């Protein structure tokens, strides 16, 4: 039986991997539409093309992976989503529209005063945008 003194633990959440069909189109979406920063790019030992991205105020990253040998990516509806905090959801939605991207759902209010909406990323991954209550 393990005791607290000798128990190995997870120390930090690092990244989430999403496999994509068109790496450059997806990178452009996360960079140019959502404002994420590219933090690294390389090829894995098995040949996957990998790009790491993160939101300016976060440590956690998204690993975008293109590996055509696995077949085409087909994301079922409502499988998974990434959530990002925005300061002003209405202003962010207007900014998205100027870039040709529309909200796919919302905005909707929820207790205790948050407002959220969704937008679809390439391959059909959902992106949740959350405006927290103002203090």
Q: Where are the domains of the chain?
A: 13-70, 78-135
> Which CATH number applies to 78-135?
3.10.180.10
- Please tell me the pTM assigned to this model: 0.88
- Rounded Cα–Cα distance for residues 63 and 46 (Å): 15
Helix (H) or strand (E) holding 39: strand 37-43
Could you tell me the fold of the domain covering 13-70?
A: 2,3-Dihydroxybiphenyl 1,2-Dioxygenase; domain 1 (3.10.180)
- Number of helices (H) and strands (E) in the chain: give both, helices first: 2, 8
pLDDT at 1 > cutoff 70: no
DSSP label at 121?
A: P
pLDDT digits (tens, 9 = 90+) for 13-25: 999 999 999 999 9
Q: What pLDDT, on a 0 to 100 scale, did the predictor assign at position 40?
A: 97
Q: Residue written as tokens 């039986």?
A: 1
Q: What pLDDT, on a 0 to 100 scale, did the predictor assign at position 77?
A: 85
**Residues 69, 74, 80, CA angle at the centre, nearest 5°?**
115
Token pair for residue 20?
Answer: 């994509």
pLDDT digits (tens, 9 = 90+) for 81-124: 999 999 999 999 999 999 999 999 999 998 888 999 999 999 89
Mean pLDDT, to the nearest integer, of 11-38?
Answer: 95
CA distances from 8 to 16, 25, 60 (A): 22, 40, 21
């Amino acid at each position: 039986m393990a005791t607290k003194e000798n128990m190995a633990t997870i120390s930090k959440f690092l990244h989430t991997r999403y496999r994509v069909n068109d790496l450059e189109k997806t990178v452009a979406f996360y960079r140019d539409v959502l404002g994420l920063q590219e933090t690294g790019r390389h090829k894995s030992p098995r040949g996957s093309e990998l790009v790491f991205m993160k939101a300016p105020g976060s440590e956690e990253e998204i690993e975008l992976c293109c590996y055509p040998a696995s077949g085409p990516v087909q994301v079922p509806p409502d499988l998974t989503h990434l959530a990002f905090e925005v300061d002003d959801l209405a202003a962010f939605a207007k900014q998205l529209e100027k870039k040709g991207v529309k909200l796919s759902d919302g905005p909707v209010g929820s207790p205790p005063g948050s407002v959220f909406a969704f937008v679809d990323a390439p391959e059909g991954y959902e992106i949740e945008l959350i405006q927290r209550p103002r203090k």
